């Protein structure tokens, strides 16, 4: 028997049908919001996975192009690997849910969100995040803290929940808030330099709506939810834990109190070796438990250090940024480079400028079809001193690249201001905390070095948090390094300019963040950001006045849109001929704007001249140098502009009488002719005689 659960959100109906589809899943929901429909299936393994120390949750966000009435491109004609948007949506669903599962739960859990229908006014990713939480609540899986998600826009100074498509276009902010009824779990934001006060108010505005949706999910769980499964939690023997703790604690504490990262790691490795030697023979079957005890001791020592001793592992102040250095122009043949170093975190970003035709084509469910600015992020194993197989970008790389890209989108010049496609690639050379925000800084340097007229320099920083078990103590720290991220409770990334915030991404390992933490993190991030921007502007105050000699030059011209077909030609014959002869790239817009790009100015000017000739109107009274294309008894035909020819009657061929056309001209000859008439049928009449007379008169005027 199916059940329908309904609630109005932002003036539109949210409807979830339970029991209608997917009978073999633990819980399957068909959820709709307007005409957007998502199917969510959640399942868990019967038993925990053995030999792991993490919660094996997987979230799949499956896009189906039939949802927007498209057939996939390519030869295969079916969906292949997930799009970047799908990967980012899956990550966004995972992050707020993961901390709310019971500690010690090790059963495999899979959440599959399949997008079946998309209405542009209602974003499927927001619907999927709410649907995933509701499905978990209704299932037998031990998840009992509903998470609600809303989008917040800023339109004409007012906040709007789940803005529709036309409002999103006008909004200066794209904010997603995920929260339980008590605390904020996740924040994703992009904005056009939003002031800190406005961003904080927007987060709270979204939080208030989330509380209502979470309460609705809780009501559904009480009315229709399955009985929650009893699960096994692996427990470590108390005597073993005490024995290992007594032996290992002083060794670990001594190692963890070393401020230098490399020396600390060496001391920690030595401590682990001593611990293994002490317990290998006595407890050969419990080494994974011993490793877990060691991890907990490390975490306890670091957190006690921050909370009770008010000191950080590297002895910085809580609000202190690590030493920063900035360099540009590192690579001689690239279009722009920026090397940004913050402590042991180092990122090299390279900028490449291309033609507008180099835009990325997006084959997905979103309204955007092309991307003119793109940012890619690479995180090789050597950046953390490890040896691993080199594979393509994973979810982490795609997520970090998208975050850095979002931070700079509001600052990128328009196509009219800077007619280039822009690609940034951030190579992480060394990682010890917040490489995504170092990528923002390195990207700013690279853009300025490439001569891109960005609106203002941007920088990013990551804030951390350490709390007590009862949450009575909360210490916020600036510019977290790896150890603070690993053993801390929050990764609060903020990027922006001197004027405001351009992006936020917040993850937490807790059951949510207090308003105090959110407000303080935003404010402290601004102080750090301004400090970093000072370093960037000291290195390169503004964009370089000239592009790299290796970067292509863009030339812009406009023609009558009606004449675009003359430039393109049948099957692209004309434009391809221009490109082949001049070596340029040409992009033509529907409004008649043409972008010619080439690193060879001679070739570019030649291409422009060819296009001008193709689109130029023939003027009566003008003299042209034309080529004879055909001869007849009554005269000859002369091409005076590409694809435009006229007739020179035999009586107009010369100043004296002509008996035979061939006595004066041959096919292929270039002659000066004057346009004497364009009749009402568009036929062009030419005169060589008049062109000769005009030339003689000009010579006489010069002699005088």
pLDDT tens string 579-637: 998 989 998 888 889 899 888 888 888 998 888 888 888 889 999 999 999 999 999 99
* Band (680; pLDDT cuts 50, 70, 90): confident
Retrieve residue 539's tokens.
Answer: 């290195």
**DSSP label of 309:** S
pLDDT at 36: 97
pLDDT at 401: 93
User: How far apart are the C-alpha atoms of 132 and 138, rounded to whole Å?
Assistant: 10
* Band (703; pLDDT cuts 50, 70, 90): low
Residues 293-313 have pLDDT tens digits of: 999 999 999 999 999 999 999
Helix axes 515-539 and 435-449, enclosed angle (nearest 10): 30
* Average pLDDT, integer, range 7-13: 95
pLDDT at 355: 87
* Band (704; pLDDT cuts 50, 70, 90): low
* Average pLDDT, integer, range 516-527: 97
Which of 274-288, 349-363, 651-665 has the largest mean confidence? 651-665
For residues 426 and 375, is the Cβ–Cβ distance under 8 A? Answer: yes
pLDDT at 501: 98
* Average pLDDT, integer, range 456-469: 95
* Average pLDDT, integer, range 324-347: 96
User: How far apart are the C-alpha atoms of 359 and 160, rounded to whole Å?
Assistant: 32
pLDDT at 702: 61
Q: Could you tell me what percentage of the chain is helix, strand and coil, using 3-state DSSP and rounding each to the nearest 5?
A: 35, 30, 35
* Average pLDDT, integer, range 337-350: 97
pLDDT at 505: 96
Residues 174-222 have pLDDT tens digits of: 999 999 999 999 999 999 999 999 999 999 999 999 999 999 999 999 9
For residues 330 and 339, is the Cβ–Cβ distance under 8 A? Answer: yes
Give the pTM: 0.86
Burial class, 365, CB count within 10 angstroms (exposed 0-12 / middle 13-18 / buried 19+) = buried
Does position 285 have pLDDT exceeding 90, yes or no? no
* Band (287; pLDDT cuts 50, 70, 90): confident
Does position 280 have pLDDT exceeding 80, yes or no? yes
Domains of the chain as residue ranges with CATH:
3-224 (3.30.230.70), 238-307 (1.10.10.400), 324-539 (3.30.230.70), 553-615 (3.30.1370.10), 623-703 (2.40.50.140)
pLDDT at 360: 81
pLDDT at 160: 97
pLDDT > 70: percent of the chain: 98
User: How far apart are the C-alpha atoms of 536 and 442, rounded to whole Å?
Assistant: 9
CA 579 to centroid of chain Cα atoms = 32
User: How far apart are the C-alpha atoms of 494 and 506, rounded to whole Å?
Assistant: 8
Does position 346 have pLDDT exceeding 90, yes or no? yes
User: How far apart are the C-alpha atoms of 625 and 621, rounded to whole Å?
Assistant: 13
Query: For 209, phi and psi rounded to 5 degrees?
Result: -70, -35
Window from 129-133, 195-199, 255-259, 595-599 with minimum mean pLDDT: 595-599
User: How far apart are the C-alpha atoms of 516 and 529, rounded to whole Å?
Assistant: 20
Does position 362 have pLDDT exceeding 80, yes or no? no
Q: Give the list of residues 6+ apart from residue 352 with CB closer than 8 angstroms, or none.
A: 334, 335, 422, 423, 424, 425
């Amino acid at each position: 028997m199916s059940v329908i659960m309904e609630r109005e959100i932002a003036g539109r109906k949210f409807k979830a049908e339970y029991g209608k589809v997917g009978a073999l899943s633990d819980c399957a929901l068909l959820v709709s919001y307007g005409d957007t429909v998502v199917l969510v299936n959640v399942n868990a393994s019967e038993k925990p996975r053995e030999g792991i120390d993490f919660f094996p949750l997987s979230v799949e966000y499956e896009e189906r192009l039939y949802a927007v009435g498209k057939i996939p491109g390519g030869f295969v004609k079916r969906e292949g690997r997930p799009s970047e948007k799908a990967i980012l949506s899956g990550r966004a669903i995972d992050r707020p849910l993961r901390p709310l599962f019971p500690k010690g739960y090790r059963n495999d859990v899979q959440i599959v969100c399949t997008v079946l229908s998309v209405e542009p006014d209602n974003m499927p990713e927001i619907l999927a995040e709410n649907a995933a939480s509701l499905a978990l609540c209704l299932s037998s899986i031990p998840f009992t803290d509903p998470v609600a998600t809303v989008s917040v826009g800023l339109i004409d100074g007012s906040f709007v929940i789940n803005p529709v498509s036309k409002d999103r276009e006008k909004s200066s902010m794209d904010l997603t808030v995920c929260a339980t009824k008590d605390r904020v779990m996740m924040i994703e934001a992009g904005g056009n330099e939003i002031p800190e006060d406005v961003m904080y108010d927007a987060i709270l505005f979204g939080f208030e709506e989330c509380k209502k949706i979470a309460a609705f999910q809780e009501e559904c769980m009480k009315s229709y939810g399955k009985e929650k499964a009893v699960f096994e939690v692996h427990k470590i023997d108390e005597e073993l834990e005490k024995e290992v703790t007594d032996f290992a604690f002083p060794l670990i504490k001594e190692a963890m109190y070393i401020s230098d990262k490399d020396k600390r790691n060496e001391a920690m490795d030595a401590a682990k070796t001593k611990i293994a030697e002490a317990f290998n023979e006595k407890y050969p079957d419990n080494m994974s438990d011993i490793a877990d005890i060691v991890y907990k001791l490390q975490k306890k020592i670091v957190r006690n250090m921050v909370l009770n001793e008010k000191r950080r592992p590297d002895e910085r102040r809580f609000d202190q940024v690590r030493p920063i250095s900035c360099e540009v122009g590192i690579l001689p043949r690239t279009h722009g480079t920026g090397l940004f170093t913050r402590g042991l975190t180092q990122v090299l970003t390279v900028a490449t400028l291309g033609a507008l035709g180099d835009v990325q084509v997006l084959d997905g469910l979103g309204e955007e079809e092309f991307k003119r600015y793109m940012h890619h992020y690479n995180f090789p194993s050597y950046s953390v001193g490890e040896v691993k197989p080199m594979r393509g970008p994973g979810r982490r790389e795609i997520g970090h690249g998208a975050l850095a890209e979002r931070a700079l989108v509001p600052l990128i010049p328009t196509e009219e201001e800077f007619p280039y496609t822009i690609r940034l690639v951030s190579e992480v050379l060394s990682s010890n905390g917040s490489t995504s925000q170092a990528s923002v800084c390195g990207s700013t340097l690279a853009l300025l070095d490439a001569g891109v007229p960005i609106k203002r320099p941007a920088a990013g920083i990551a804030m951390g948090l350490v709390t007590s078990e009862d949450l009575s103590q909360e210490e916020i720290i600036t510019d977290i390094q790896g150890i603070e991220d690993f053993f801390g409770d929050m990764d609060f990334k903020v990027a922006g300019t001197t004027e405001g915030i351009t992006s936020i991404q917040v993850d937490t390992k807790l059951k949510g963040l207090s308003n105090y933490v959110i407000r303080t993190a935003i404010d402290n991030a601004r102080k750090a950001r301004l400090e970093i921007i000072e370093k960037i502007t000291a290195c390169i105050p503004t964009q370089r006045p000239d592009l790299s000699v290796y970067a292509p030059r863009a030339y812009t011209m406009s023609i009558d849109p009606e004449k675009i077909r003359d430039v393109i030609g049948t099957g692209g014959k004309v434009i391809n001929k221009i490109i082949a002869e001049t070596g340029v790239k040409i992009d033509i817009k529907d409004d008649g704007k043409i972008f010619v790009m080439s690193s060879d100015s001679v070739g570019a000017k030649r291409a422009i001249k060819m296009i001008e000739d193709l689109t130029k109107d023939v003027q009566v009274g003008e003299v042209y140098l034309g080529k004879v294309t055909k001869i007849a008894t009554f005269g000859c035909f002369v091409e005076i502009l590409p694809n435009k020819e006229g007739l020179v009657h035999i009586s107009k061929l010369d100043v004296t009488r002509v008996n035979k056309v061939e006595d004066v001209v041959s096919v292929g000859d270039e002659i000066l002719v004057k346009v004497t008439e364009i009749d009402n049928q568009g036929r062009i009449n030419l005169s060589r005689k008049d062109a000769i007379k005009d030339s003689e008169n000009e010579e006489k005027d010069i002699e005088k």
